[in-house]
């Protein structure tokens, strides 16, 4: 079965070769804004929502929550006039993850159109792009695109003319830096000018979100899929995938591989296909030891897992998570303890400081890892790491940050325990880090 | 009610609470930190972890936080579950990673919730071998000490200070394991509730800076239940003594009055009791001329007084709104009803009598502070609540949450205990609070509308609101400003829509018309809504009690002396120079004999010829009646030193010495109270405010000293190596010893909160019928005043309306001078406390900038303020909120007395002298 | 005192918020652009502009890593210390930069030219290791000497 290139790769197929963002005209040439026009002119908000539901689009932010279902929790009807909000989660600070950046830098209008559709479906009249502060290039691309959209009345009052009576204001918020801003409720606090600590759920953001009003928060990649679903239909979207979940996925590989990068592939491509096929396997002189499949907060996988399909359910079954779908490779010349320190230092530093296990547990983990690495660790320390990882389970902490940290920790110790023990026995780092 | 299962046993519990509330209400032990009974759940500390099971077949379960789990029908949790227990111990371990373990030198040691919870979870061994994090501490002012290293990041301090009490100069800084709780720079905490941080903080980060000066462990304090004497709200406190000095005051929970908190004036005002200037011996100053003080030795005072009184040509007694009912009553008895004058100025007297009449003869009920916090629409008329009745201000900060909260709870189905979620849903919405006052105040920021006007205009505004609400209320004739009309419309509309509207006013504006207008509004509302409540702030801690006893005002006393009807004046705990114009006060103290009874030297004691040292609140017992009309008993905390006696006891002894019939029968406080109840039927129930002195539990008294009290035998070894016999308390069921009933006494007698395993204030949970509910056995105190029922259309509204306020342009006295209140400074006793003294502002005169400009008086310039009877030199402070033609005089500040306000006065550049009475120590 | 230009920028940038304080993070970023960092004095001025107290604003300001509450050099080097960069040479790169500029992470060179700060993943993992100098991302810095000519560009 062969499909035209840009139909198999709806998200990235029309990118310019020079890496410059698609202008409005270029975007429109490849079908851009057709979906929004179609929705506004011939579909009810409910129909848009139903189409997305039917497409089996699952959130690309990490948790994989069905997008249509998420939208349906926004109170609608007479008694719920608004204001309501749509927010694109463009914070992308998960180590090893760079897929949203690629989308925004290359095709900013796709995100804007996706957000407009989400707003139409949920009755929102204001939208925010919560953008990572470091993504200066994305910011510039989005700003330009937004300007073009306003100019052509694809944004603002009465989009596509009086008849639609659909208004939408969209703004870009540049973050001031914190991983917690990516957690959707922390994001909302941050957007309100507060500390990015998470909020209790329930109530969910769809009920009390930005400024206490109903809000949908979706990942950039998730939103980018929406125009294609509306334009081509749910069935087409499902057909792109090799798994239960609809669509394609942007997979990425970083680490000591021949061609680190990102590729849009059918959802459910296997790890081997991505890692060996697209990334070219290990660089010469490096051996594969393991990988984290979807950003820093997922469980390590090893050789035996390479043929797993990269989709939400398959990885879940294997005890890991697809997360963001961007994998990080551990090679034999990198100390697994050192890599773990990098991971855990990140989580410890980015903990918001709200709940005890995360605020206190992660720095303890880092100190313990450091002492193992520098040769002053004890055997019990290794068990302490496992114990701490076990204690940082979902539900034990207030939000998912610390459980995310526990995933690479417990699996890392499990798969590379010998290396940890060598550090203790030899009282030094066998990789010479200390 | 729903059925929940805790460790497989079914329990009936209230539905709108969390499982942590439910467990604690059931008396179970479950550790927690971030949850607070008044501020509820946020789920941050993860200490209250329990195992939750889906149903009886679920054996695996999952760990949840009890504080974030609703008590829904069929909820199943286990506290005993080993995994949950282990998790709770690990949470303590995490918290302890950086805790300095400095309990032996920590002020919180021995009453530390962190200590208690550590013991409760069984965590006892340090596994971490790494360095602890350290912080710099901050200077936060005279009340609260800061020791950040002890912090366990429970977020309670910010939640109290900012979210609950509305503070804006404190907070949480930085992130991850660097979070810091304090101010953005060193400085005095601005909130008048800052001292509560000491009790809210579960460990020793925020501790009592005043206690620290003469530190004593909780278990070494001799404590008794007491009542705050620094305003009319009657907050319940626990006062503690060691080595003959009062060491600290903390909150004593009373669900109807102060709940979990007290204000800083109440917490730190007590130090006047320890003042070096205390009057400690009776003495005489023979007059005239001879300034030589003669101490009256043991056995001399009473005979001296007996002689004086026997020779007197007319005795008058001047009572005191800050003295107990019992003391006032015995003075009343000594002087006789026709010669007893309540110690009020004429103005105060009529205000207090009007308050009493409105709340006892009208149909609208006085709310308690708890009810005030639940009001969903509030109108404040003329009263500067944060400064005259601070805890009422805290209640109002909660009241503005009610209306938006109701919406959130009903429409979004967010349970009200889910504090963070509720606040996020509410955001900046606030319920309706309307304030009309002479000047701007600290609650204006949360008010839907605040308007500033002269007292007469405030009254007219109030009458206008009443008129809008009811055709039976009188119409307002003459001009009313557009702003005022708009304000009245809005307020009336919101009050009408409210379920639990509350009208607040008081004596603070010094205007009968304002009180009457408030009454009219409340009554007009009441015609349609029986839930309408009223709160009228009285000036002092026993103003209502004294008012109920009757007695004419001080003006009449002055007249009696001037007319030669009396030559001997007995003044009870009262500085008449605070209540009379200077010449009038002078006339009174020029009587042939003046006997003054007080704790501290005052203008009055310095002009008396005989002075008796009397005990302060912590050294004696008695009954006070607060603005709610609640009679409450305070108990002797310790026996005062030397020759200090309770006022009532001096007076009783005098009565006995004078051979007054029946006086021997007034042996104990109970007997005095009983006699008073016979003579004043309105005060009858006051005798029931606390159990009588012969009350025993299992044959035992309630010990003032905790069972761990140390040094009993050695305490007074410098005086006598033999252990002295404990002082016998014939006036109460409390004993001055460690022996006695250790269990839970009736609520008015609780000398301290403690339960096994619960050494901190959190032990309160064990004394309540449910968490946050009344103490077991009911809230202390007894309400004496309830409204009379009336029929719609039969209410007799006040009909005397003042005309609009007009500045006097051509008059010599061209400014209307209103009193301004300062929480720290306007109340005399607390201002004597060194810590509070640090925050008393310098005297000033406040003027509208435009008025100041016409007078050519820039900010800070010295102005001359003249009254008919006194004059002052004061720096000008510009206050744009003041109405034109009105000036503010901060009463009570050092030197600012000898004038009854409000009054007309003149403000001029100094130099333009005029012949008036010179106040000797007035001016800045 | 906020400059007229800063004020104008704030007016424009925060116009759409009902309450200015909602945009306080934007406000901090805007002013920081002009001044490099947010001093106590400056914090107070911004707070006043936003109808916030300094404490309220600082509660937020100190939470975020990109709001500098202490002085920084003319150029800020953020070196990514996250996992992808870690596996492809972060340690060497850090050692190199640190040695060359004679500063540790968190420090500023004596001449006030550079401040070196650790940073979380810069989102360019396919070209690791990476640093960001001011607003420019520089990638593929292996071997670490590749950074030398780049540093020269920032005076
Ligand atoms: C600590 C933390 C950081 C997160 N960071 C991001 C992020 O940078 N971008 C993102 O899209 N989702 C992030 N998430 C997930 C979001 O909370 C949320 O699930 C997601 O934005 C929802 O979008 P989706 O339904 O489209 O996946 C993060 C979650 C956690 C717990
Ligand atoms: S797990 Fe706790 S401390 Fe960590 S980020 Fe989430 S809420 Fe904050
Ligand atoms: S008390 Fe429940 S989490 Fe803190």
Taking only the tens place, the pLDDT of each residue in B816-831 is 999 999 999 999 999 9
Whole-number pLDDT of residue B923: 36
- The atom of ligand 1 lying closest to the CA of A222 is 26
Paired tokens of C121: 């993943």
**Domain closes at, from C19, C38, C63:** C63
Determine the pLDDT at residue A5. 47
**Which of chain A's residues have a Cβ under 8 Å away from the Cβ of C25?**
173, 175-176, 190, 193
Output DSSP code: residue C88: T
The helix-helix angle for A379-391 and A356-373 (nearest 10°) equals 160
Q: Write B657-665 long-range contacts (CB < 8 A, 24+).
A: B657/B302, B657/B303, B657/B305, B657/B306, B658/B306, B658/B309, B658/B310, B658/B334, B660/B333, B660/B334
Residue C69 domain flag: no
Helix (H) or strand (E) segment spanning residue B248: strand B245-251
Q: How far is the CA of B127 from the CAs of A364, A433, B90, B96, B123, in angstroms?
A: 11, 26, 11, 10, 11
Residues A18-28 have pLDDT tens digits of 999 999 999 99
DSSP assignment string, C7-42: HHHHHHHHTT-SSGGGGHHHHHHHHHHHHSS--HHH
pLDDT by residue (tens digit) across A275-330?
Answer: 999 999 999 999 999 999 999 999 999 999 999 999 999 999 998 999 999 999 99
How many A from CA of B36 to the centre of ligand 3? 9
A191-202 mean pLDDT: 97
pLDDT tens, position by position, C3-44? 999 999 999 999 999 999 999 999 999 999 999 999 999 999
The Å distance, Cα A282 to ligand 1 centre, comes to 30
Q: Choose the weakest-confidence range: A5-19, A37-51, B538-552.
A: A5-19
Taking an 8 Å cut-off on Cβ atoms, the answer to whether A348 and B426 are in contact is no
Choices 2.60.15.10, 3.90.1150.10, 3.40.50.740, 3.50.50.60: CATH for B283-342+545-600+639-683? 3.40.50.740
* Residue A3: pLDDT over 60: no
Tokens of B149: 């290293």
Cα dist from A217 to A118, A129, A334, B93, B386, whole Å: 10, 10, 37, 36, 42
- The last residue of a domain, from among C41, C63, C85: C63
Q: Is A318 on the interface with B (CB under 8 A)?
A: no
Instruction: Decide: B356 and B549 in contact? Cβ < 8 Å.
Output: no
> Is the per-residue pLDDT at A430 higher than 50?
yes
- To the nearest whole Å, the CA of A344 is away from the closest chain B CA by 13
**Which pLDDT value is given to residue B916?**
43
Look up the CATH number of domain A5-239. Answer: 3.40.50.11540
Is B184 within 8 Å of C58 when comparing Cβ atoms?
yes
C87 and C146 inside one domain:
yes
Do residues C140 and C117 both lie within one domain?
yes
Chain C: touching chains (3 or more CB pairs < 8 Å): A, B
For domain A336-426, which architecture applies?
Up-down Bundle (1.20)
Q: How many Cα atoms sit within 13 Å of A153 on the Cβ side?
A: 10
| Chain C residues 16-35 with a CB less than 8 Å from chain B | 19
B288: preceding bond cis by omega (within 30 degrees): yes
C40 at B interface, C-beta within 8 A: yes
Q: Is C52 inside any structural domain?
A: yes
Q: Tell me if A430 sits within 8 A of A334, measured CB to CB.
A: no
In chain A, % of residues over pLDDT 70: 98
User: For residue C126, which residues of chain A lie inside 8 Å, CB to CB?
Assistant: 98, 252-254, 260-262
The answer to whether residue C54 is domain-embedded is yes
CB distance B168–C19 less than 8 Å?
no
Which one, of C72, C25, C79, lies nearest residue C47 by Cα?
C25
Q: What does the alpha-carbon distance between residue B184 and residue B77 come to, in Å, rounded to a whole number? A: 42
Q: For residue C133, is it within any domain?
A: yes
User: What pLDDT score was predicted for residue B720?
Assistant: 82
CATH number at B350-538: 3.40.228.10
Angle made by CA atoms B709, B710, B716, in degrees to the nearest 5: 115
Which chain A residue has the Cα nearest residue C18?
A211
Contact B579, B897 (CB under 8 A): no
Distances from the Cα of A326 to the Cα of A94, A249, A358, C124, angstroms: 10, 10, 24, 12
**Contact across the interface for B169 and C58, Cβ inside 8 Å:** no
Burial class of residue C36 in the structure, from the number of CB atoms within 10 Å of its CB (0-12 exposed, 13-18 middle, 19+ buried): middle
Ligand 2 neighbours by CB, cut-off 6 Å: A 180, 198, 351-355, 358-359, 397-399, 401-402
In a domain, C46, yes or no: yes
* Residues C148 and C115 grouped into a single domain: yes
Backbone CA torsion sign across B631, B632, B635, B640: negative
**What is the distance between the alpha carbons of residues B713 and B723, in angstroms, rounded to a whole number?**
5
For domain B2-95, the question of CATH label 3.10.20.740 is answered with yes
Q: How many domains does chain C have?
A: 2
Q: Confirm if A266 and A241 have CB atoms less than 8 A apart.
A: yes
* CATH number, residue C98: 3.40.30.10
Distance B387 CA to ligand 3 centre (A): 35
Please tell me the predicted confidence (pLDDT) of residue A2: 42
Please indicate whether residue B417, judged by its CB atom, sits closer than 6 Å to ligand 3: no
- Please state the ipTM of this predicted complex: 0.96
Are C32 and C85 members of one domain?
no
CATH code linked to domain A248-331: 3.10.20.600
Q: State which residues form the domain around C23.
A: 4-63
Can you read off the two tokens belonging to residue B77?
């949790």
Q: What element of type H or E holds B227?
A: strand B222-227
Q: What's the A130 CA to ligand 1 centre distance in angstroms?
A: 11
Other beta carbons within 10 angstroms of residue B731's beta carbon come to: 24
3-state secondary structure of B886: strand
Count of CA atoms in the C-beta half-sphere (13 A) of A311: 19
Burial of C50 (C-beta count, 10 Å sphere; 0-12/13-18/19+): buried
pLDDT of B921 reads 41
What's the confidence (pLDDT) of residue B711? 86
C56 and C90, same structural domain?
no
Q: Do C63 and B428 touch (CB under 8 A)?
A: no
C54 touches chain B (CB under 8 A): yes
**Quick check: do A5-239 and A336-426 share a fold?**
no
Nearest to A191 by CA among A178, A214, A173: A173
- Residues with pLDDT less than 50, chain B: 914-924
A93 C-beta closer than 6 A to ligand 1: yes
Q: Alpha-carbon distance B547 to B349, whole Å?
A: 7
* Residues 166-205 (B) with a CB less than 8 A from some CB of C: 168-175, 180, 183-185
B815-908, CATH topology level: Barwin-like endoglucanases (2.40.40)
Total count of residues recorded for chain B: 924
Going from N- to C-terminal start, the domains of chain B cover: 2-95, 216-276+629-638+684-786, 283-342+545-600+639-683, 350-538, 815-908
Q: What pLDDT is attached to residue A162?
A: 74
Determine the pLDDT at residue C9: 96
What does the mean pLDDT of chain B come to?
Answer: 95
Q: Is residue C106 part of a domain?
A: yes
Which residue on chain C is closest to A171 by alpha carbon? Answer: C16
Of A321, A342, A306, A330, nearest to A419 (Cα)?
Answer: A330
Domain boundaries, chain A: 5-239, 248-331, 336-426
Q: Residue B735's beta-bridge partner residues?
A: B703
**Which residues make beta-bridge pairs with A309?**
A270
**Is residue A61 within 6 Å of ligand 1 at its C-beta?**
yes
Please, what's the b/e burial string for B754-768 (b: 16 or more CB within 10 A of its CB; e: otherwise)? bbeebbbbbbbbbbb
Within-domain flag for C107? yes
């Amino acid at each position: 079965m062969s499909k035209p290139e840009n139909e198999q790769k709806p998200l990235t197929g029309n990118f310019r070769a020079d890496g410059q963002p698609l202008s409005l005209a270029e975007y429109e040439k490849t079908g851009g804004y057709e979906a929004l026009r179609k929705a506004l002119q011939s579909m009810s908000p409910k129909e848009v929502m139903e189409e997305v539901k039917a497409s089996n689009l699952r959130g690309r932010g990490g948790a994989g929550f069905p997008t249509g279902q998420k939208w349906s929790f926004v109170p609608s009807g007479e008694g719920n006039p608004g204001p309501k909000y749509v927010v694109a989660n463009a914070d992308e600070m998960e180590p090893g993850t760079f897929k949203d950046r690629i989308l925004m830098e290359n095709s900013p209008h796709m995100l804007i159109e996706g957000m407009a559709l989400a707003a139409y479906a949920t009755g929102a009249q204001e939208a925010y792009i919560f953008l990572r502060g470091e993504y200066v290039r994305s910011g510039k691309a989005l700003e330009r695109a937004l300007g073009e959209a306003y100019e052509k009345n694809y944004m603002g009052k009465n989009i596509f003319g009086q008849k639609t009576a659909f208004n939408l204001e969209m703004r870009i918020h540049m973050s001031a830096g914190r991983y917690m801003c990516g957690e959707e409720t922390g994001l909302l606090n941050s957007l309100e000018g507060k500390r990015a600590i998470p909020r209790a759920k329930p109530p969910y953001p769809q009920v009390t979100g930005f400024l206490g009003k109903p809000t949908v928060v979706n990942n950039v990649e998730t939103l980018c899929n929406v125009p294609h679903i509306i334009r081509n239909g749910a069935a087409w979207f499902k057909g792109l995938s090799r798994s239960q979940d609809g669509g394609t996925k942007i997979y990425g590989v970083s680490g000591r591989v021949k061609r680190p990068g990102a590729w849009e592939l059918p959802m459910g491509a296997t790890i081997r296909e991505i890692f060996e096929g697209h990334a070219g396997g290990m660089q010469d002189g490096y051996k594969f030891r393991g990988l984290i499949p979807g950003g820093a907060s997922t469980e390590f996988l090893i050789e035996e897992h390479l043929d797993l399909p990269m989709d939400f359910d398959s990885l879940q079954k294997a005890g890991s998570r697809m997360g963001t779908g961007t994998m990080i490779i551990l090679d034999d010349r990198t100390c697994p303890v050192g890599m773990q320190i990098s991971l855990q230092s990140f989580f410890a530093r980015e903990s918001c400081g709200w709940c005890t296990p995360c605020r206190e547990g992660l720095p303890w983990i880092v100190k313990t890892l450091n002492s193992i690495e520098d040769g002053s660790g004890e055997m019990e320390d290794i068990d302490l790491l496992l114990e701490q990882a076990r204690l940082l389970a979902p539900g034990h902490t207030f939000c998912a940050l610390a459980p995310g940290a526990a995933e690479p920790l417990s699996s890392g110790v499990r798969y590379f325990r010998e290396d940890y023990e060598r550090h203790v026995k030899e009282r030094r780092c066998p990789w010479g880090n200390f | 009610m729903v059925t929940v299962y805790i460790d497989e046993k079914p329990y009936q519990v209230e539905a709108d609470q969390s499982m942590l509330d439910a467990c604690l209400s059931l008396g179970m032990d479950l550790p927690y930190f971030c949850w607070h009974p008044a501020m509820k759940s946020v789920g941050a500390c993860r200490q209250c972890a329990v195992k939750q099971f889906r149903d009886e077949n679920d054996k695996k379960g999952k760990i949840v936080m009890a504080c974030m789990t609703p008590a829904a029908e069929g909820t199943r949790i286990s506290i005993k579950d080993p995994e949950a227990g282990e998790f709770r111990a690990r949470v303590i371990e995490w918290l302890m990673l950086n805790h300095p373990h400095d309990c032996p030198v920590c002020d919180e040691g021995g009453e530390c919730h962190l200590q208690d919870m550590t013991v409760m979870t069984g965590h006892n061994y340090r596994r971490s071998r790494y360095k602890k994090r350290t912080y710099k501490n901050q200077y936060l002012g005279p009340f609260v000490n800061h020791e950040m290293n002890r912090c366990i990041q429970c977020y309670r301090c910010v939640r109290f200070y900012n979210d609950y009490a509305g503070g804006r100069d404190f907070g949480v800084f930085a992130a991850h394991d660097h979070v810091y709780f304090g101010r953005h720079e060193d400085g005095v905490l601005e909130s008048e509730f800052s001292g509560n941080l000491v009790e809210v903080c579960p460990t020793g980060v925020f501790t009592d800076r005043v206690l620290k000066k003469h530190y004593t462990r909780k278990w070494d304090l001799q404590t008794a239940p007491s009542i705050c004497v620094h305003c009319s709200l009657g907050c319940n406190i626990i006062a503690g003594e060691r080595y003959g000095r009062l060491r600290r005051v903390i909150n004593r929970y009373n669900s109807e009055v102060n709940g979990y908190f007290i204000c800083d004036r109440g917490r730190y005002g007590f130090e006047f009791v320890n003042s070096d200037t205390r009057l400690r011996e009776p003495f005489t100053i023979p007059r005239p001329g001879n300034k030589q003080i003669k101490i009256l030795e043991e056995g001399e005072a009473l005979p001296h007084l007996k002689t004086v009184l026997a020779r007197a040509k007319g005795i008058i007694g001047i009572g005191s709104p800050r003295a107990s009912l019992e003391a006032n009553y015995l003075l009343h008895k000594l002087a006789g009803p026709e010669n007893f004058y309540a110690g009020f100025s004429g103005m105060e007297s009529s205000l207090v009598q009007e308050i009493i009449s409105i709340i006892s003869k009208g149909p609208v009920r006085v709310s308690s502070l708890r009810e005030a916090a639940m009001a969903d629409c509030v109108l404040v008329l003329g009263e500067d609540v944060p400064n005259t009745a601070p805890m009422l201000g805290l209640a109002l900060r909660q009241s503005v949450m009610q209306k938006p909260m109701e919406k959130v709870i009903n429409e979004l189905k967010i349970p009200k205990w889910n504090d963070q979620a509720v606040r996020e849903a509410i955001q900046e919405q606030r319920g309706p609070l309307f304030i009309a006052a002479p000047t701007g105040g600290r609650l204006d920021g949360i008010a839907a509308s605040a308007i500033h006007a002269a007292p007469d205009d405030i009254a007219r505004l109030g009458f206008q609101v009443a008129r809008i609400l009811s055709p039976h209320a009188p119409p307002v004739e003459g001009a009313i400003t557009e702003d005022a009309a708009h304000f009245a419309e809005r307020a009336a509309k919101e009050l009408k829509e409210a379920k639990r509207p509350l009208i607040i006013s008081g004596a603070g504006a010094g205007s009968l018309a304002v009180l009457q207008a408030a009454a009219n509004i409340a009554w007009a509302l009441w015609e349609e809504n029986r839930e309408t409540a009223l709160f009228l702030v009285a000036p002092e801690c026993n103003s209502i009690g004294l008012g109920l006893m009757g007695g004419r005002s001080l003006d009449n006393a002055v007249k009696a002396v001037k007319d030669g009807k009396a030559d001997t004046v007995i003044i009870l705990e009262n500085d008449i120079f605070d209540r009379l114009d200077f010449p009038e006060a002078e006339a009174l103290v020029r009587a042939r004999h003046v006997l003054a009874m007080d704790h501290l030297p005052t203008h009055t004691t310095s002009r008396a010829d005989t002075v008796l040292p009397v005990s302060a609140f912590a050294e004696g017992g008695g009954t006070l009646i607060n603005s709610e009309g609640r009679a409450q008993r305070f108990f002797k905390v310790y026996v005062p030193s030397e020759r200090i006696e309770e006022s009532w006891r001096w007076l009783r002894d005098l009565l006995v010495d004078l051979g007054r019939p029946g006086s021997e029968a007034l042996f104990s406080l109970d007997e005095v109270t009983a006699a008073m109840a016979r003579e004043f039927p309105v005060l009858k129930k006051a005798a029931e405010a606390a159990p009588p002195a012969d009350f025993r539990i299992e044959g035992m008294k309630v010990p003032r000293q905790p069972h761990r009290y140390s040094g009993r035998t050695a305490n007074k070894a410098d005086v006598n190596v033999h252990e002295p016999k404990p002082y016998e308390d014939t006036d109460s069921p409390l004993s001055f010893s460690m022996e006695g009933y250790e269990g839970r006494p009736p609520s008015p007698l609780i000398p301290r909160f403690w339960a096994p395993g619960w050494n901190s204030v959190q032990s309160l949970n064990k004394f309540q019928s449910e968490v946050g509910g009344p103490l077991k056995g009911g809230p202390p105190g007894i309400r004496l005043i309830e409204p009379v029922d009336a029929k719609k259309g039969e209410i007799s509204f006040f009909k005397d309306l003042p005309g609009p306020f007009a500045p006097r342009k051509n008059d010599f006295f061209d400014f209307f001078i209103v009193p301004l209140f300062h929480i720290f400074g306007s109340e005399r006793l607390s201002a004597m406390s060194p810590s509070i003294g640090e925050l008393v502002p310098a005297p000033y005169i406040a003027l509208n900038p435009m008025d100041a400009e016409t007078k050519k008086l820039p900010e800070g310039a010295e102005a001359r303020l003249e009254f008919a009877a006194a004059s002052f030199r004061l720096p000008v402070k510009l206050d744009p909120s003041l109405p034109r033609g009105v000036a503010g005089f901060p009463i009570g500040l050092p030197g600012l007395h000898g004038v009854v306000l409000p009054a007309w006065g003149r403000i001029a550049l100094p130099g333009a002298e005029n012949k008036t009475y010179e106040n000797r120590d007035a001016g800045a | 005192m906020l400059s007229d230009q800063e004020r104008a920028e704030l007016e424009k940038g925060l116009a759409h918020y009902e309450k200015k304080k909602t945009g306080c993070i934007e406000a901090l970023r805007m002013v920081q652009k002009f001044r490099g960092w947010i001093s106590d004095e400056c914090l107070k001025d911004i707070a006043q502009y936003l109808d916030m107290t300094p404490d309220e604003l600082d509660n937020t300001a100190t939470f975020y890593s990109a709001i500098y509450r202490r002085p920084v050099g003319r150029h800020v080097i953020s070196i990514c210390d996250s996992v992808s960069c870690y596996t492809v040479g972060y340690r060497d790169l850090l050692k190199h930069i640190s040695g060359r500029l004679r500063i540790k992470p968190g420090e500023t060179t004596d001449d006030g030219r550079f401040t070196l700060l650790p940073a979380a993943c810069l989102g360019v993992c396919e070209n690791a290791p990476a640093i960001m100098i001011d607003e420019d991302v520089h990638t593929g810095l292996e071997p670490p000497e590749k950074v030398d000519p780049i540093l020269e560009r920032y005076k």
